[in-house]
Amino acid sequence: MDLIQFIRIILRNITIIIIVPVLMAVLVYVFTMSTAKTYTSKTLIYTGIASGYSLESGENTRVDYFGSNNALDNLQNIIKSKKTLEAVGVRLFAENMISGPNAPKSISKESFEELENIVPQEVRDLVDSSSLENTIRNFNDYKNKDEENFIYKLIYLVHRHYSLDALSKIGVRRIGNSDLIEISYSNDDPAICYRTLELLNAEFITNYKNLKENQTDAVVKYFEAQLDLNTNRLNNAEDEFENFNKDNKIINYYEQTKHVASLDEKFQLQYQSELLTLNGTLASIKDLENRMGSNQKMKLYASEIIDLRKELSEVNGKISLNQIFTEDTIQATVHDYSDLQVQASELKRKLGLAVESLDDLENSGEGINRTDLVNDWLAKVIIYEETKSRIEILDDKRVEFDKLYSKFAPLGTTVKRLEREIGVVEQEYLSNLQSLSWAKLKQQNIQLSSGLKVIDNPTFPINPLPSKRKFLVILAFMAGFILILAIIILLEYFDTSIKNEERAEQLIKLKVEAMVPKILPTKEYDIEKISNAAFEFIVKKIYLESNPDRNNKILFISMIEGEGKSLLLGKIAQKLKVNGHNVTAFTPHDESSGISIPDVEYMSYQMDSSFIQSPSFFSTENQKHKGYLLAEIPSINNNPIPAGIIKDSDMIFLVCRANRVWSVADNKNLEMMRYIGREPRMIINGVNTEYMESYLGEIPKKRSLIRRLVKSWLNGQFKVNKKSI
């Protein structure tokens, strides 16, 4: 299908193409006459999600676009959530029932009158005029009672003011990539539209804030509970450690063991030094005694001297105890060091006087002054007694050191275990304390960042929105135009009729010799002139293949009845007669009276067995004149095929109506004719006039200058003959 054919299809169906869209537009116009006016209001909310300041904000803080988009999506979903819209619907209904027409910015007078007509008395009884919250609570309890009550149906069905269906039409959109959200709502009542947005702002801001704060409340409570457990465990562990230290008299285990080790080292060194001194002085004493006589030696061991030595040894022992352990933390007894020194000096003096009182001390057997020996002996004895007393003290302390080591050695494991337990609990305590601090910081941050702010409050709409009635009418017209045009094109595309030359040759596989237009009078075409030209074209074809020296036998056939072959035969016979030729037309007896063309000689024949078996229906008498013998036979699909007559014909024309479908039976009969040995030529009858151009050239038609220009341009001709019609 080319563009010209497409335009022809439109022009052929122009009436219905215009009527259907106009009718649809008129119907839409009529049905929208009673459409209610629509009012709209908008509000602008600042969220601060992406760019707002918080406790976590900083100079180098990066914007988390994915997180911001997710948070804004969550906020929009909260606004459109069933819980939010249901709360707004119930609160708005409660306000309207309490205030009524006294609140012109909550509901209009007309809407309230309509509401009064549908609210049952049992719902009116739930209204508490003194308290909006009590009324809302009563309404919610009544609504949740079952699914058949008035308020439940009001919210969940299709009421245009309070239902979820109406409130779900609230528009929520983010303005670009900003932190601003625009909320819009349209309704037939300006007061309802305005008040709904006000209630929505209050409701969803509260819901959003509670939701954000509840996210961290559970976390804070969890860490607070864990911190309490850790505190109790830490206190118990520290109390156990404190009791352990008290029971074992431990102030600082590690310092005490270090001090004990230091004392032990000092003790060992001093003990070894005292042993060396003791052994040395003992050897010196024995040497000095060996130098004395036995008599003098015996006097040195007199009871008075021995008692003084013993008493001096005891005092020296006490002095040594003070000297060695005066800073010892485990020292149990502290002596007066000055008194002991005085007492020791006195004992030494007495011991010296006792030794000096001895006689026979002049000279020893070796000629040594005995007084010097005794004095040396006395000095060594004093040193010996002092050293001996210190060693005795050290021996006693050795036992104490052993007991102390035996006590401190097993305590180390227990101390480490208790300290490790305290350390583990303390780490858990510090970790949970830090987590609690972060959770509280997050909680405070959310409280700061979840503070949504209304930038632009809803405005009370005064003027309704422009009506969409014109748009709907235009849309209906365009839809009707496109719909009917699509139907026409589809019908044309799926049309399997013969229609024109191109379609006929494609379906039937026969050469189309001629086409005859549909003979219906129109204002656009001169049908008589066009049909006359078509018949002249067929006659020219006949002339080209005729023999002027004999009769030319021309046979007209059709596959079914009503193809128009009788009319074509008569018109062609008339043309031949007018041109001065002898013409005889043969028609079946039962069809000869159907069509009669003036100036045409008709002869009829009987459709019987002799005719079917006849080699020719053209009689010898008719054949002796030179001219044209035109004949038609009944439809081939419903009658026997006269093979002899078909073979005897000079030209055979198969007449087919343009508006019929070529069938399988037609193909089979055509194949039978080919089997006989003759292939007919095809004439398409009743063709739409516009298809005749392929045979006749430009079809005579009244066209405006614009149509002639468009047609010539579509054909690639940019010069138009103004004389052409």
Query: Is 60 exceeded by the pLDDT of residue 230?
Result: yes
Q: Where are the domains of the chain?
A: 1-35+468-495, 37-219+450-456, 498-714
What order do you get walking across the sheet with 583-588 strand by strand? 512-517, 681-687, 651-657, 552-557, 628-632, 583-588, 601-605
Residue 683's pLDDT is 93
CA–CA gap between residue 178 and residue 63 (Å, rounded): 12
pLDDT 10s digits, 621-649: 555 557 888 999 888 888 888 888 888 88
- Which CATH code, of 3.40.50.10860, 3.30.70.20, 3.40.109.10, 3.40.50.300, is assigned to 498-714? 3.40.50.300
The one-letter amino acid code at 483 reads: L
338-347, 523-532, 620-629: least confidently modelled range? 620-629
CA–CA gap between residue 671 and residue 675 (Å, rounded): 6
CA–CA gap between residue 431 and residue 227 (Å, rounded): 9
123-132, 208-217, 404-413, 696-705: least confidently modelled range? 696-705
pLDDT band, residue 329 (cuts 50/70/90):
very low
pLDDT 10s digits, 87-145: 999 999 999 999 887 888 889 888 898 898 999 999 999 999 899 999 999 999 999 99
pLDDT 10s digits, 436-459: 888 777 766 666 555 678 888 998
Residue 324's pLDDT is 56
pLDDT band, residue 685 (cuts 50/70/90):
very high
pLDDT more than 90, % of the chain: 18
Task: Write the DSSP symbol of residue 661.
Answer: B
Residue 722's pLDDT is 46
Average pLDDT over residues 50-72: 62
pLDDT band, residue 345 (cuts 50/70/90):
confident
pLDDT band, residue 592 (cuts 50/70/90):
very low
* Residue 31, token pair as written in the block: 């049905």
CB 126 within 8 A of CB 151: no
What order do you get walking across the sheet with 180-187 strand by strand? 171-174, 180-187, 39-46, 453-456
pLDDT band, residue 207 (cuts 50/70/90):
confident
Query: Is 90 exceeded by the pLDDT of residue 556?
Result: yes
What is the Cα Rg of the chain in Å? 67
**Mean pLDDT over each residue of the chain, to the nearest integer:** 79
pLDDT 10s digits, 261-277: 777 777 778 778 878 88
400-414, 577-591, 592-606: least confidently modelled range? 592-606
Query: Is 50 exceeded by the pLDDT of residue 506?
Result: yes
